[in-house]
């Protein structure tokens, strides 16, 4: 299986421009024969809690039709970050597009206290089966909480992907936490972080891939857009900057 981690920059609240950028990055994933590409937290709007209520959409919104078309035409699964409307409030979500299937959604279950005024926690753990692998997605804060990883493993996850928007301090914590967890549970962990300004902080990039032994195979830098394509069977990563 080939998994593409996208390190992208989002323009504050500019959905049209961000979708355009996503589509260009997905082309790199397609060129790398990827089976799956995952973007950072709230990548379509940028991580902007103050704007979430205004920008939130339903998962079936037609603004995402281009992603489904790319998924169908190139046989690739695509996960993008977006605030979505739920019965109890606004969720931080990953919308998943898979070839010939209805849109899937995973919403953040564990929120940081700073997010509570803007979002509500989801309750359901969701795995996505792609090319015979069960893929768990975690979103930023919850990915550093052991309980979230354990819940994903109990559900049968083969691979864990962290979709995040982290400043330097958060990246430091992730680089300490993820290799230990990957090695303990013999599970690859991949992190897709954003670059550029988000809300009131600078997102610090350094997206990375750790294999099932907790060995970091590769990382990206702190400021540029790029992709890493992880070949799970060969345990290799190809890196490209955009």
For the chain, domain boundaries: 2-241
The rounded distance, in Å, linking the Cα atoms of 20 and 43 is 12
Give the chain's residues under pLDDT 70. none
Upper half-sphere CA count for residue 70 (Cβ side, 13 Å): 26
H-state helical runs in 59-161? 65-74, 146-154
Of residues 224, 220, 213, 225, the one with CA closest to residue 237: 220
pLDDT score recorded for residue 70: 97
pLDDT score recorded for residue 131: 94
pLDDT one-digit tens code per residue, 8-39: 999 999 999 999 999 999 999 999 999 999 99
pLDDT one-digit tens code per residue, 191-230: 999 999 999 999 999 999 999 999 999 999 999 999 999 9
232 touches 188 (CB < 8 A): yes
| Top-level class of domain 2-241 | alpha beta
Stated pTM of the model: 0.97
pLDDT score recorded for residue 139: 98
pLDDT score recorded for residue 42: 98
CA distances from 222 to 55, 195, 199, 207 (A): 27, 7, 17, 8
């Amino acid at each position: 299986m080939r998994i593409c981690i996208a390190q992208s920059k989002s323009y504050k609240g500019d959905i049209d421009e961000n979708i355009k950028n996503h589509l260009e990055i997905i082309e790199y994933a397609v060129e790398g024969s990827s089976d799956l590409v995952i973007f950072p937290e709230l990548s379509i709007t940028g991580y902007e809690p103050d704007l979430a209520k205004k920008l939130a959409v339903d998962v079936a919104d037609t603004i995402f039709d281009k992603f489904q078309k790319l998924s169908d035409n190139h046989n690739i699964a695509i996960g993008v970050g977006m605030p979505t409307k739920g019965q109890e409030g606004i969720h931080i979500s990953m919308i998943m597009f898979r070839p010939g299937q209805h849109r899937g959604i995973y919403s953040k279950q564990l929120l940081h206290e700073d997010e509570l005024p803007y979002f509500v926690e989801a309750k359901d753990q969701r795995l996505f089966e792609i090319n015979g692998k069960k893929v768990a997605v975690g979103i930023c804060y919850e990915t550093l909480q052991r309980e979230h990883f354990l819940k994903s493993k109990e559900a049968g996850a083969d691979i864990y992907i962290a979709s995040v928007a982290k400043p330097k301090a958060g990246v430091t914590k992730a680089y300490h936490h993820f290799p230990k967890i990957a090695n303990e549970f013999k599970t690859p962990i991949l992190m897709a972080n954003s670059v550029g300004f988000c809300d009131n902080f600078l997102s610090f990039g350094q997206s990375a891939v750790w294999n099932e032994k907790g060995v970091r195979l590769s990382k990206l830098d702190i400021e540029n857009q790029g992709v890493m394509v992880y070949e799970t069977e060969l345990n290799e990563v190809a890196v490209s900057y955009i």
